[in-house]
Amino acid sequence: MNYLEAIKTAIIIFPIIALIFTIPFILHQYHKYGSINKFRVLIIYSFILYLITIYSLVIFPLPNKSEINILNKAIQLQPFNFIKSFLQETSFNLFKPQTYFKIFTEPAFYTVAFNIIMTIPLGMYLRYYFSCSLKKL
């Protein structure tokens, strides 16, 4: 399954899961405040869609069982081990400035960059729900 199919699957599953999770939220909001804030419901819907999409992107494109034995050596359980593998897989050299822009075209860079981009909305949702700022830390 490629990434577009995983996103399509997430969008198809979304209405069912959104109803399961938002009906109790809507009932709680109505019972507590006497009305339903449409903006909060929209935020909940978008958060659920984000979670389902990220789950689909991470879980659904898994390899077949026959490919797992070959890829078993590629699992990284050490923190920041991706830096070591990034330097091994790319032609980046700290002492050669001409290699700096070349890394933007290599697949190892895309993996790291998209993993970081994938977590940015989670930080925004957590900031919204818990009203935490850097000043409080």
Enumerate the domain spans of the chain. Answer: 1-62, 78-137
Of the pLDDT bands very low, low, confident and very high (cuts 50, 70, 90), residue 72 is low
Whether the per-residue pLDDT at 125 is higher than 60: the answer is yes
Average of per-residue pLDDT values in the chain? 79
Mean pLDDT of 104-133: 83
H-helix segments, 72-133: 81-89, 107-130
**Count of beta carbons in the 10 Å neighbourhood of residue 64:** 6
In sequence order, the 6+-apart residues with CB closer than 8 A to the CB of 21 are 44, 48
Measured CA to CA, the distance from residue 14 to residue 79 in angstroms comes to 32
Tokens at 126, concatenated: 């957590």
Closest CA to 137 of 127, 122, 125: 127
0.85 exceeded by pTM: no
